[in-house]
Amino acid sequence: MKDGFTAARDALHFINGAYTKGTSGRTFDNISPATGQKIGVVHEGLKPEIDAAVEAARAALHGPWGYMSLTQRSELLYAVADGINARFDDFLEAEILDTGKPKGLASHVDIPRGAANFKTFADLVKNVPTESFMLDTPDGFGALNYGVRKPKGVIAVISPWNLPLLLMTWKVGPALASGNTVVVKPSEETPLTTTLLGEVMNDVGVPPGVFNVVHGFGPDSAGAFLTAHPGVDAITFTGETRTGEIIMQSAAKGLRQVSMECGGKNPGIVFADCDMEKAIEGTMRSVFANCGQVCLGTERIYVERPIFDQFVARLKEGAEFMKLGASDDPETAMGPLISKEHQQKVLSYYKLAVEEGATVVTGGGVPDMPDDLAGGAWVQPTILTGLPEDARCVKEEIFGPVCHITPFDTEDEAIAMANDTEYGLAAALWTEDLTRAHRVARRLDVGIVWVNSWFLRDLRTAFGGSNQSGIGREGGVHGLEFYTELSNVCIKL
């Protein structure tokens, strides 16, 4: 194991290519959500650390990074991806320590996507054309217009705790591929993989100042100082909608652009003509994967009445079969929530559901765990039925392993209920009738529709939500729109 992992264990800041404790002298404990035990300490950055990181990022724009050819930059990002893969086990260990998620999940989803996010955008920037127009002029010679994409500058990256490496690199990948520099403020809950990435950046020769990390909280801490910093040119954020609103207020000063990927209360619609095996397998993942802590997860399920009882019974069976346990137990299907605080939030919704009149089909509480895990943030996978559509548990994002299932009789009714939300991120449709699938998909007010699948990701496609689920689209060329400034050059011939 390399020294960098030790630095990551202590969650130091990474500024201008060097690990540092900063000057604030403040630290907080990093607590394992699986056991409740202390993993290490995190150094909290305040204004001086943010100033230093933004200054380093600004300077790097004018150094070797700013003059690097597209090919060189793209090769360097390929090397970053290879560097993540070369230290796969270190990233895996760091991610598991921070989140407690099952090893199988982190090794198939989180860490490989961390590497893929760099490769995808390293390829994309070399292959995406800009527009070009010939303009007729009275002298007959014309004028040639063509677009040039330039980096936006210093990008602030505020990332969440649910898929720490995946979601952070989903922003850092396109930002660096486009020639920007970044200052990342990872979630205070999950500092380790972002810190470790600094080591990879140095190993492969990314110039100092291109990738910076400052740890801390949101309000009155690193997050707020970073988003308010006048040296930041644009802000990309994934997290709660209310936090997004606060960050937008900071961004308003200086008219800085924001890209926001926020919450969801995503519907799943299961038609009677579905393939039941596929629908159950996919819905099990969309409700319970990552302990329900995925913004794309399904929290509302609408099932056509003839198969309602069968569907509820099959999902119950699946939920009760899942083993909750330690990350490295190969039989573990579900880990803990991210923190005791989040556990309290999810449990308060379990209690509220009963108060609102729900039938608890399964779960609804805290599971019995072995002694070594008893201090962790565990909750039972939970299935609810019987609530009216205006119940808070049907309207508000819970972000835990829980869903509410409602029967429907007509396609129009299902669509109306699915769309009756202030969010608009993702939906999953289960039907073997593809004509119906096309018809319904177009009528859903969401950014992403999966038909007979869930979380099947093609990184070239547009990713993001409407309404309170976010602003803008990430992924493919859509991400490049945000991370670059498009200039037009007009040449009179």
Ligand X SMILES: NC(=O)C1=CN([C@@H]2O[C@H](COP(=O)(O)OP(=O)(O)OC[C@H]3O[C@@H](n4cnc5c(N)ncnc54)[C@H](O)[C@@H]3O)[C@@H](O)[C@H]2O)C=CC1
Residues in contact with ligand LM24SWP5, total (CB under 6 A)? 11
How far is the CA of 342 from the CAs of 237, 362, 379, in angstroms?
Answer: 20, 20, 10
Q: Give one word for 275, left, alpha or beta, with left for phi > 0 and alpha for psi -120 to 50.
A: beta
Among 280, 296, 307, 338, binds ligand LM24SWP5 (CB under 6 A): 296
Give ∠ CA 97-101-106 in degrees, rounded to 5.
Answer: 90
Q: Cα dihedral sign for 91, 97, 100, 104?
A: positive
Compute the least distance from the CB of residue 221 to ligand LM24SWP5, in Å: 21
Which residues between 418 and 457 bind ligand LM24SWP5 (CB under 6 A)?
A: 457
Does position 396 interact with ligand X (CB under 6 A)? The reply is: no
Q: By rule CB under 6 A, what string of x and - marks binding of each residue 239-278 to ligand LM24SWP5? A: ----------------------x-----------------
Q: Residue 202 or 238: which CB sits closer to ligand X?
A: 238
Q: Residue 241 or 343: which CB sits closer to ligand LM24SWP5?
A: 241
Does position 219 interact with ligand X (CB under 6 A)? The reply is: yes
Which residues between 338 and 377 bind ligand X (CB under 6 A)?
A: 342, 345
CA proximity to 111, closest of 94, 137, 91, 127? 91
Segment near ligand X (CB under 6 A); pick from 15-23, 212-220, 381-389, 452-460: 212-220
55 given a catalytic annotation: no
Does position 161 interact with ligand X (CB under 6 A)? The reply is: yes
Q: By rule CB under 6 A, what string of x and - marks binding of each residue 242-281 to ligand X? A: -x--xx--------------xx------------------
Compute the least distance from the CB of residue 242 to ligand LM24SWP5, in Å: 15
Active-site annotation holder among 44, 49, 261, 356: 261
SS3 label, residue 209:
coil
Cβ atoms 85, 203 nearer than 8 A:
no
Segment near ligand X (CB under 6 A); pick from 40-48, 123-131, 158-166, 198-206: 158-166
Binder of residue 156, out of ligand LM24SWP5, ligand X, none (CB less than 5 to 8 A by kind): none
Does position 224 interact with ligand X (CB under 6 A)? The reply is: yes
Q: How far apart are the first and last CA of the chain?
A: 61
Cross-strand bridge partners of residue 181: 154
Does position 158 interact with ligand X (CB under 6 A)? The reply is: yes
Q: By rule CB under 6 A, what string of x and - marks binding of each residue 275-294 to ligand LM24SWP5? A: -------------------x
Tell me whether strands 382-385 and 402-408 are parallel, antiparallel or unpaired. parallel
- Tell me whether residue 155 is exposed, middle or buried, using C-beta atoms within 10 angstroms of its C-beta: 0 to 12, 13 to 18, 19 or more: buried
Buried b (16+ CB within 10 A) or exposed e, 265-282: bbbbbbbbebeeeebbeb
Does position 465 interact with ligand X (CB under 6 A)? The reply is: no
How far is the CA of 414 from the CAs of 1, 79, 93, 283, 417, in angstroms?
Answer: 53, 47, 43, 17, 5
Element spanning 486, H or E = strand 484-492
Quote the CA–CA distance of 65 and 56 in Å, as a whole number. 12
Per-residue tokens: 286: 């969309």
Q: By rule CB under 6 A, what string of x and - marks binding of each residue 298-337 to ligand X? A: ----------------------------------------
Q: Give one word for 78, left, alpha or beta, with left for phi > 0 and alpha for psi -120 to 50.
A: alpha
Q: Residue 94 or 125: which CB sits closer to ligand X?
A: 94
User: Which stretches of 50-185 are assigned E, i.e. beta strand?
Assistant: 132-135, 143-151, 154-158, 181-185
Q: Residue 407 or 464: which CB sits closer to ligand X?
A: 464
Query: Active-site positions?
Result: 261
Q: Contact positions toward ligand LM24SWP5, by CB under 6 A?
A: 162-163, 167, 170, 238, 261, 294-296, 457, 463
